[in-house]
């Protein structure tokens, strides 16, 4: 399994009137963590897009377990467990400094060309993911 940890600090802009992280912010945290996870295995999103490969989110889900608050330091763990064929699935777990699970979620990404037409996973994506699906933590 490919696993990448991305640190996030909760800023005032992230919280709602009750002082808890606004629910949509977690999708932004997922996006940042996903970009860094892919980079950690040698896949720059900019480079992929330069080659005409796009990974739009086609589905997402989140489950809220506890709320994070202003100035909390969080860890967003991204995991890729399978080699993509036509879609890339990434699972996420957000924990606080004490290791408590706050949010779990998943994004599913279509693999499309520049015109938005679905394609099978190209060699560059397959090679990077297959190479790193060794169980080593990144």
What is the distance between the alpha carbons of residues 44 and 36, in angstroms, rounded to a whole number?
A: 8
Can you give the residue ranges of every domain in the chain? 2-132
Please say if 14 is a catalytic residue: no
- Say whether domain 2-132 belongs to CATH 3.30.390.30: no
> Closest Cα to residue 26, out of 79, 94, 72, 96?
94
Are the C-beta atoms of 101 and 121 separated by less than 8 Å?
no
Q: Which of 14, 16, 72, 127 is catalytic?
A: 16
Q: For residue 15, what is the DSSP state?
A: B
What is this structure's pTM? 0.93
- For every one of its 138 residues, what pLDDT tens digit does the chain have, with 9 covering 90 and above? 999 999 999 999 999 999 999 999 999 999 999 999 999 999 999 999 999 999 999 999 999 999 999 999 999 999 999 999 999 999 999 999 999 999 999 999 999 999 999 999 999 999 999 999 864 444
∠ CA 111-5-63, rounded to 5° = 70
């Amino acid at each position: 399994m490919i696993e990448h940890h991305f640190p996030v600090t909760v800023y005032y802009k992230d919280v709602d009137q009750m002082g808890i992280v606004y629910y949509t912010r977690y999708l932004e945290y997922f996006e940042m963590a996903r970009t860094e996870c892919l980079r950690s295995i040698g896949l720059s999103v900019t480079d992929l897009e330069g080659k005409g490969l796009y990974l739009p989110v086609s589905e997402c889900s989140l489950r809220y377990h506890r709320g994070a608050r202003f100035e909390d330091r969080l860890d967003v763990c991204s995991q890729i467990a399978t080699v993509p064929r036509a879609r890339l699935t990434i699972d996420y777990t957000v924990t606080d400094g004490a290791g408590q699970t706050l949010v779990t979620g998943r994004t599913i990404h279509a693999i499309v060309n520049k015109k938005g037409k679905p394609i099978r996973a190209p060699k560059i994506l397959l090679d990077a993911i297959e190479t790193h699906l060794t169980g080593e933590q990144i």
